[in-house]
Amino acid sequence: MPLALYALTAGAFGIGVTEFVIMGLLPDMGADLGVTLQAAGLLISGYALGVVVGAPVLTVLTRNWPRKAVLLALMAIFTIGNAACALAPGYGLLMAARVLTAFAHGSFFGVGAVVATGLVAADKRASAIAIMFTGLTMANVLGVPIGTWLGQAFGWRATFWAVAGVGLLALAIIQALVPRDAVAPEKMDWRADLAAMGRRSVLLGLATTVLGYGGVFAVFTYIAPLLTQIAGFDKGAVPPILLVFGGGLVAGNILGGKLADRRLEATVLGSLLALAAVLAGMSVALHSHALAVVFVGLLGIAAFATVAPLQMWVLSKADGAGATLASSFNIAAFNLGNALGAWVGGVVIARGPGLSAVTWVAMLLPLAGAALAGFAMRARRAAPRTPARAGA
């Protein structure tokens, strides 16, 4: 695999830390800012919605830039946003800084996924995407546990300062390793590309991504209180358990990429069903220390086994038309799922049956995603036997 892929991995690592580290610090941040756990959880939803808005907007605005310049500009926004988070005096400005940081997220992975698939042979494209997303998994293996420990020991602001430093390092690595001649500007007719996003097959793919990842974040957003209040762990046990989750992400990411290169549709459907099964199992596992740790690892495997297949599936539905925009929209869809999941989990906690029911409710989301994916696959197979319709 080309070295440029690993430069993308470095950028993904920094973005992954700032996205995921807040889960382990949620109770501390809520107490320091004087807000409820549900309100603190909205910092995750706000970030996710920032990705949803920023991904297509920045992709269109930078469509004529060299892709290397786009990647560098996005990492600069990411670094500035994390420094602003560390300096924010209150909840409102912290939310604004999180949204600013999120603007870089979707476009980075959207542009990066297209660059990654263009650097390798056709039968290695899902694996190339998986290598880029390894940055997210390593963020969970290394960055999130260290960042959680740092925030608990020195205050959550110290974590954001550290992440800003990671952003500066990622900028230097991208500058050094990504070649300019491999990332020429893309000729984009954004109106035609946006119209391509309205195809039924593309929309069904995006909706599947939203539902699948909604299930992950309905649980992962509240992983710290689930582990301490339901499973009965001490607060100090959360960082090492998150390390187990990160190890699961690495395994799931590699597994999902390899399987998707062989049988894409089967991997999409199977990974969503596996995710639903793990979420259902967690409902029981959280009542045992040993099983809770095992299922946190299984959640990591199931969560990231879906990422490369879903990203590649949506790219395949775009049929080459507006690939960068399709890629960015699907990153936005992942994060819309994040926002949906965080909101659903918060509603279950605050207005529903409570924290212990979050895993059961979360299970329903990937099940719905699997049903939608199955419908889309049957519709695609039936399409040649029926007259073609515009937008189908």
Q: How many CB atoms lie within 10 A of CB 80?
A: 16
3-state helix, strand, coil in the chain (%, to 5): 85, 0, 15
The answer to whether the CB of 160 falls within 8 A of the CB of 85 is yes
Distances, alpha carbon 329 to alpha carbons 170, 196, 230, in Å: 24, 12, 36
Distance CA 336, CA 13 (A): 20
Q: Where are the alpha helices (DSSP H) in 34-90?
A: 37-61, 67-87
Distance CA 39, CA 45 (A): 10
Question: What pLDDT was estimated at residue 217?
Answer: 85
Own/partner pairs, 162-167, CB within 8 angstroms, 24+ separation: 163/14, 163/17, 163/18, 163/21, 163/82, 164/79, 164/82, 164/83, 164/86, 166/13, 166/14, 166/17, 167/14, 167/75, 167/76, 167/78, 167/79, 167/82
Torsion from C-alpha of 120, 123, 127, 128, nearest 10 degrees: 20
Distance CA 283, CA 167 (A): 37
Question: What pLDDT was estimated at residue 322?
Answer: 62
Distance CA 14, CA 166 (A): 6
Task: Give every residue of the chain whose pLDDT is below 50, as ranges.
Answer: 182-184, 385-392
Question: What pLDDT was estimated at residue 36?
Answer: 79
Question: What pLDDT was estimated at residue 334?
Answer: 82
Distance CA 155, CA 186 (A): 43
Question: What pLDDT was estimated at residue 248?
Answer: 87
Distance CA 342, CA 349 (A): 11
> Which helix (H) or strand (E) covers residue 333, if one does?
helix 323-350
Question: What pLDDT was estimated at residue 189?
Answer: 61
In DSSP notation, 16-30 reads HHHHHHHHHHHHHHH
Sequence-separated (6 or more) residues with CB below 8 Å from residue 3: 177
> Which helix (H) or strand (E) covers residue 189, if one does?
none
Question: What pLDDT was estimated at residue 389?
Answer: 39
Q: In the structure encoding, which two tokens stand for residue 98, read together? A: 């999180």
Sequence-separated (6 or more) residues with CB below 8 Å from residue 135: 8, 9, 10, 11, 12, 13, 14, 15, 16
The answer to whether the CB of 58 falls within 8 A of the CB of 122 is no
User: Domain map of the chain by residue range?
Assistant: 3-385
DSSP letter at 351 equals: T
pTM of the entire structure? 0.70
| Backbone φ, ψ for residue 59 (5° rounding) | -65, -40
Sequence-separated (6 or more) residues with CB below 8 Å from residue 307: 129, 130, 133, 136, 253, 256, 334
Question: What pLDDT was estimated at residue 191?
Answer: 66
Q: Which CATH class is domain 3-385?
A: mainly alpha
The answer to whether the CB of 119 falls within 8 A of the CB of 2 is yes
